[in-house]
Amino acid sequence: MTAKIYRPAKTAMQSGKAKSLDWVLDFEQEKPRSIDPMMGYTSSADMKSQIRMRFETREAAVAYATRNGLAYRVIEPQEAKRRRVVYADNFRFDRRQPWTH
C-alpha cells in the first residue's frame, strides 16, 4: 500500500490559504470501488482510503511514513502565478485596448 504526501490546493470558494498550508498523507486505494446494484451508491471495502492525516511540515509526514514502514510518494505543490492588477491601470495612456463602459 502506498501513501501520497501532498499539500492541498485552496478551494475555489476560498480567498485565503486556510487548510492549504498543512501537508496531508492519504492512502491510495487497494481495491476498486463497486456500485451497489439496488441503490446505485459507490462503495469500497478498503478502509485505509478513508484515513487522512495532517502534518505541519513535509518532513514530519515523511518521517511518519518511514517510521511506520509505509511506501510513499511526495507530490510537490505548484504555486499559483498571480498577476498584480491595479485599478489605476484602467486609466493609463498607453493601454493596449481602449477603455470604455
Domains and CATH numbers, the chain: 2-91 (3.30.160.190)
- Does the pLDDT at position 94 exceed 70? yes
**22 pLDDT exceeds 70?**
yes
28-57 per-position pLDDT tens digit = 888 888 898 889 898 888 888 889 999 999
Residue 72 has pLDDT above 90, yes or no: yes
Please answer whether residues 3 and 27 qualify as being in contact, where contact means their C-beta atoms are separated by less than 8 angstroms: yes
**pTM score:** 0.70
Q: What cell numbers appear for 32 in the block? A: 476498486
Find out whether 9 and 20 touch, Cβ atoms under 8 Å.
Answer: yes
CA atoms within 13 A on the CB side of 23: 21
C-alpha 20/C-alpha 48 separation (Å) is: 22
Q: CB under 8 Å to 99, separation ≥6 — which residues? A: 90, 91
